[in-house]
Structure 1
Amino acid sequence: MNTVKWGVLSGAEIAVKQVIPAILNAPNAEVAAVASESGKEAKLKEQFHVPKAYSSYKDLLNDSEIDAVYIPLPNGLHAKWVQEAAKHKKHVLCEKPAALTYQEAIEMIQVCEENNVIFMESFMYQFHPQHNRVKELIQSGEIGEVKHMNTDLSFVLHSLEGNIRADRSLGGGSLYDLGCYQIHAIRMILGEEPVRVFGMEQLYDSYDVDQAAAVTMEMESGLLASFNCSMNMAGRQTYEVVGTKGKVRVLKAYVPHEDGIGKIIIDREDGHRREEILEGYFYDIGIEHLSASILDGREPVNTAENTIRNMHVLEACLTSMQEKQPVDITTK
């Protein structure tokens, strides 16, 4: 096998606009089947010239020719279908957040391990080269000793009625939808884990989900990191790392979709300022990376253990927001 035959569960917007095209662009992957339980399978088959289409997710999973599946279903359905896919010996790419609780994440990963399938949570933004460049700048000492990282991520959700983001049972709210990215980015860029979090939330009047959240984290080294996420503010998608000699800011940290171009701004205390432009379409890079991992039988860069750790922190943030007090995160 020199290409991974992918199946896609549902015709979700992210699948149609980003992931299916990325699979089609990857030299080591192909879209072999699509499935929809809402009647979209024929349209998807025609639009992307896919060989097979199913009206049932289970029928696709029963297809012995499928090597791996992409799961872009609502957050609350991820754990069920990841486990079903693993039991059918399919490798899995699952949209974020992969689970709704820490325990759910542990259980789904255990099923993947028991069935010897590779699992990756779809934090595709991490494959853009701008993030490795930020880590290089930090390691070079150009901004001095890192003291703080902050990240902002928001958009305006204009319609709540019938939107899964407004349904807590399906993993709705800004923390699940956006904060999971920011927790992942802080952990990835700083290379350490939070040990304590304190968060506050702003709930919708008529929906039991957070429309906005703000969280401060104490990291293992003692430095502080923070993030705020929102579904009721103008679009932002930045992060900034501040050191003793300067700071580095990433302007399109999470979704540089249109042109694949990211911009980093470095400001130093000595007055030096410069911009660096980095280009790379991260969905294409991510799909090719995961497909290579499947073909080689090795873990992808975003490991299953990383998914468990990210969910552990997210759950602590949610608990802190609900209890309105700091929450310690023990290493398990």
Structure 2
Amino acid sequence: MTKQYNWAILGCGKIARKFAEDLKLLPNAKLYAVASRSLDRAHEFAVQLGFEKAYGSYIELVEDPNVDVVYIATPHSHHHEHALLSLTYKKAVLCEKAFAINAREAREMIDCAKENNTFLMEAFWTRFQPGFLKAMEILESGELGELKMVRSDFAFNAEKNADLRLYNPDLGGGSLLDIGIYPVFATIMTLGKPSSIKTLPQFGFTNCEESIIMSFKYDNGAMASLVSSFASHSSIQSEYWCEKGYLRLNRRWFANAQICIWRQGMEHEEAVEVAPIEGKGYQFEAAHVMKCLDEGKIESDMMTFEITLNIMNTLDRVRADAGIVYPKHDLPSAN
């Protein structure tokens, strides 16, 4: 008989709501508890989404012995604190990206998971999307030859409001950790960590990085050109240029996007069939977490600690080159 897991959500924002809706698609996931610093907000969220319990503090949630898994959906400036709290109470953790503010925090979170023998994974939902998995399968097959260039973007025209998280430096604001992490992920998953990084940042009215262009170079000659921005809209695509052709993940590539391929000698691109999915796609990472728990793992074999640390180390290097600083957090290492 399949074990059912009691899920708890720490933080009641937009991403928490989307995640909760998709949890309903999984028969072995029970919507059990939510927590916010405001009990009224937690109660409203619980009633609307169908959770059994609502807590007005995070400590109350992790002290609940019936909680099996905590999904951390607070701003990334607080992921380190909330992951350590949950792991200390032996709660399995799925932590939204950016996993932390810097690699130092990420390492401490991973060390805590190991010390407590408790599961921890970064909630990088793209890693589990059927379209992305199909694209990786095609690239890894070698049918397009060696990968030489990654080009990826993610931009939208955000509300210019200093009170919101996106433009609040104390909450890790700026496009890099919010959406720039996606193009970085697209590159890390195919080319790995770059040997050199150059950036061109543009800072906004709160001194947060508003837009950034990132150029990566690799020892084997491969390169990447990545962009994120809150100042304008973009096509939101990822392209992989190879020796014998190219592959493109179309608009909203980070979700279950359509794939197009062109091979040398073809007159036109061809579309690769990607089956439509139910919900928004957050259920795939949640299902994977429960599979790992069924198997007694504390680390995912798909979204490993190494992948998360590679992403966080690369983001640290980008920040160091661009001069991006979060005043309430330690400056990141450029190593």
Compute the TM-score of the two structures, normalised by the length of structure 2.
0.90
Structure 1: gaps (5+ residues): none
Structure 2: gaps (5+ residues): 325-332
The answer to whether the Cα contact below 8 Å between 2:153 and 2:234 also exists between their aligned partners in 1 is no
Q: Deviations over 1:210-256 (max 9, x none)?
A: 11001111235331112000011114321000112211111035454
Partner of 1:6: 7
Partner of 1:122: 123
Partner of 2:182: 181
AA of the residue aligned to 2:307:
N
**Aligned partners of 1:189, 1:129: CA distance in 2, in Å?**
16
AA of the residue aligned to 2:315:
L
AA of the residue aligned to 2:19:
V
1:304 shift after superposition: 2.3
**Aligned partners of 2:9, 2:286: CA distance in 1, in Å?**
13
Tell me the secondary structure at the aligned position of residue 117 of structure 1.
Answer: coil
Tell me the secondary structure at the aligned position of residue 194 of structure 1.
Answer: coil
Partner of 1:268: 263
**Aligned partners of 1:58, 1:236: CA distance in 2, in Å?**
42
Tell me the secondary structure at the aligned position of residue 144 of structure 1.
Answer: coil
Partner of 2:202: 202
Q: Deviations over 1:254-276 (max 9, x none)?
A: 454xxx5x211112230242112
Partner of 1:42: 43
Q: How many residues align?
A: 319
The answer to whether the Cα contact below 8 Å between 2:320 and 2:334 also exists between their aligned partners in 1 is no
Partner of 1:24: 24
1:66 shift after superposition: 0.3
Structure 1 position 278 matched with structure 2 position 277:
no
The answer to whether the Cα contact below 8 Å between 2:153 and 2:236 also exists between their aligned partners in 1 is yes
Percent identity over paired residues: 28
The answer to whether the Cα contact below 8 Å between 1:156 and 1:235 also exists between their aligned partners in 2 is no
**Aligned partners of 1:294, 1:161: CA distance in 2, in Å?**
40
Compute the TM-score of the two structures, normalised by the length of structure 1.
0.91
Tell me the secondary structure at the aligned position of residue 270 of structure 1.
Answer: coil
Structure with a larger share of its residues in strand = 1
The answer to whether the Cα contact below 8 Å between 1:23 and 1:287 also exists between their aligned partners in 2 is yes
**Aligned partners of 2:130, 2:232: CA distance in 1, in Å?**
27
1:282 shift after superposition: 2.6
* Structure 2 counterparts to residues 285-300 of structure 1, below 5 A: 285-298=284-297, 299-300=299-300
Moved over 6 A (4+): none
Q: CA RMSD in A?
A: 1.9
**Aligned partners of 1:158, 1:50: CA distance in 2, in Å?**
31
1:147 shift after superposition: 1.1
Partner of 1:134: 135
**Aligned partners of 1:287, 1:140: CA distance in 2, in Å?**
27
Partner of 1:51: 52
